Amino acid sequence: MLIRAATPDDVPSIRALEQQAETAAHWAELEYDTLFAADAPPRIALVATSEADGGRVIGFVIARCAGAEWEIENVVVTPEERNRGLGIKIIRELLLQAQSAGATSVLLEVRESNLAARRLYEKLGFSQQGRRSGYYHDPKEDALLLCFFVTNLRQFDLEGE
């Protein structure tokens, strides 16, 4: 498995992965098409690829980079790779890049019912900072606002020790 910066050539694979995931943020095609546009908001997109499967994209994370505060906008891992540590690895890489860029916090929203994602974020050190009532639709559900404070980052946190 290799984690690397996404390229425009990865967009079809990213979109296909996102469409398979019920809990993913479902973006319009145009949002993915403009991900790498010169006038797009500053973002980082990382993909995890399977070396054993010809470099197939098996996970991704997209985050908006707004100076000191970054926001994870979407994370997806293929069903066959879930519960194998890939989500942790790809988000750890994002946290390392946020730290290198001088970010102080990384935020995200997660469905209250998405227990698997909540456990993953908790394991990484994210903590609940708030709630958005009725934020999600189909079904209507609250969003939990989670935050990771990069300034508290310790190397062993990222190595999982």
- Measured CA to CA, the distance from residue 72 to residue 120 in angstroms comes to 14
Whether the full predicted model's pTM is greater than 0.85, yes or no, is yes
Task: Identify whether the C-beta of residue 101 lies closer than 8 Å to the C-beta of residue 65.
Answer: yes
89: domain CATH number is 3.40.630.30
Note the pLDDT of residue 156.
39
Token pair recorded at residue 114: 């998405």
Q: Is the pLDDT of residue 92 over 80?
A: yes
> Between the CA atoms of 80, 63, 105 and 42, what dihedral angle is there, to the nearest 10 degrees?
160
Question: SS3 of 58, please?
Answer: strand
Domain total in the chain:
1
Note the pLDDT of residue 154.
61
- The domain of 16 spans 2-159
Task: Identify whether the C-beta of residue 104 lies closer than 8 Å to the C-beta of residue 149.
Answer: yes
**153: pLDDT confidence band, cut at 50, 70 and 90?**
low
**130: pLDDT confidence band, cut at 50, 70 and 90?**
very high
DSSP 113-148: T-HHHHHHHHHHT-EEEEEEEEEETTTTEEEEEEEE
Note the pLDDT of residue 5.
95
Task: Identify whether the C-beta of residue 72 lies closer than 8 Å to the C-beta of residue 36.
Answer: no
| Nearest to 151, CA basis, from 89, 98, 88 | 98
Note the pLDDT of residue 22.
74
